[in-house]
Amino acid sequence: MPPLRKALPLLVLVAWAPTAAAGPLTHEPCEDARAAEAFISTTLAMENLAFDGAGALYVSAKGVGVLAITPAGDARTFAPADAHGIVWRDALYVNVPAAQGRAVLRYEPDGTFETLVEGLPAHNGMAFDAEGNLYVSRHNTRPSIVRVPAGAPHEWAPWSDVYGANGLAYDGGNASLLVAVSLEQSSRILRISLADPSDVRTVATLSLGGVSLEPGVASAPDPSAPARPKALDDLTLGPDGNIYAAAFATGEILRVDPRDGRACVVAADLQEPSSVRVARGFGPYDGDLFVTAYGGTTGMGPLVPVAPPVQPAEGRPGLFRIPLGLALPGVGDDAASREPPHPQRAAAAPHAIVALLAAGLLARLARR
């Protein structure tokens, strides 16, 4: 596939001000909120991303494969695998859906690969812990999280039944896994102990209401608290000790203080953001947030490869940069937690919407 073209320099796709009339925002903007800038424009639906720390950004594009992108914005097809979640450790780990064996593949930088494990019931979010154990999620099945042990990489076992588990991030400072829950109106971020996966605690509840797509659980909206669900997709633990989460339904990137669950909006008006990571080893962008997005598509239909290269005016923004410039103390996205430098702004009262809309938004994410 010919290279994609980087969006025009400083092309701002999002322009919003931290005012009370901020559209669908259900939290106040952060004090250092930024406009998100389009880094790549394309017709592809971007699902997940990972930095290798050595100048490459890998992005999974639905129906096409994994792209390798340089700080200059040049993109090439790195792997043809129709990847969902991707994560970098000592190589690029890619999980693929049922049509490709529901496997995790391990790719070297030269493109050669091997199958790490196959036959998984889950293929969405992924995270490694410090010992090299791999955790893989699937938001609409059980078990919702499986564990691939470092000592037996071709095996897997059920690990957690938290329904709706999607994005995963390792928190070494608390020996736990942070989990974004997608298929519920309350939009929770959970912490699961690595030593005891039955020890599940709520870090934050980002919206209100009783809608859930879990079988056997109340599926009717709570009319007393009709808040728009976030439909959380992915999340990462930043070097500042805060959690950064992508809200697929509301188009927000949220910063969450894990100490008290307070949250604010770093960037808004994105088109179905699906993942967020902190850049490291990526030229002048280290410490900035990068966000993949579906660009207004559901990712369910056929996707057309980019040929010839798409101009910014012809495509949709699929990869964004939020210029935060977080300090990097020589660690990656899933670093041990640190004390955030200051408390975040408290959440504002949610904007009420038609409560029945909640079930539709959650169902849309469930079909992915």
Q: What's the predicted TM-score (pTM) here?
A: 0.80
First CA to last CA distance, the chain: 25
What Cα–Cα distance (Å) separates residue 270 from each residue in 107, 135, 203, 243?
30, 28, 24, 18
Max CA-CA distance within the chain?
A: 55
List, in sequence order, every residue forming a beta bridge with 128; answer none if it has no partner.
134
Other CB atoms within a 10 A radius of the CB of residue 85 amount to 27
pLDDT attached to residue 363: 53
Residue type at 331? V
Q: Are 283 and 309 in contact (CB under 8 A)?
A: no
φ, ψ (nearest 5 deg) of residue 130: -65, -25
**What SS3 class is residue 172?**
helix
Tens of pLDDT, residue by residue over 291-325, are 998 874 333 222 223 322 333 334 566 888 999 99
The whole-angstrom separation of Cα 353 and Cα 110 is: 49
Question: pLDDT tens across 51-75, in order?
Answer: 999 999 999 987 788 999 999 988 8
Q: What are phi and psi of 64, to 5 degrees?
A: -120, -55
Query: Is it true that domain 37-366 has CATH number 2.130.10.10?
Result: no
3-state secondary structure at position 314? coil
Per-residue pLDDT reduced to its tens digit, 80-130? 888 889 999 999 999 988 667 789 999 999 999 999 999 988 678 999 999
Structure tokens at 301: 């239909």
Contact assessment for residue 62 and residue 48, using Cβ atoms and an 8 Å cutoff:
no
Percent of the chain at pLDDT above 90? 45
CB 50 within 8 A of CB 65: no
Q: What is the pLDDT of residues 220-268, one digit of tens each?
A: 555 544 456 788 999 999 999 999 999 998 889 999 999 999 999 999 8
Residue in this structure with the two tokens 């559209």, named with its chain if needed? 23
* Positive or negative torsion for Cα 118, 122, 124, 125: negative
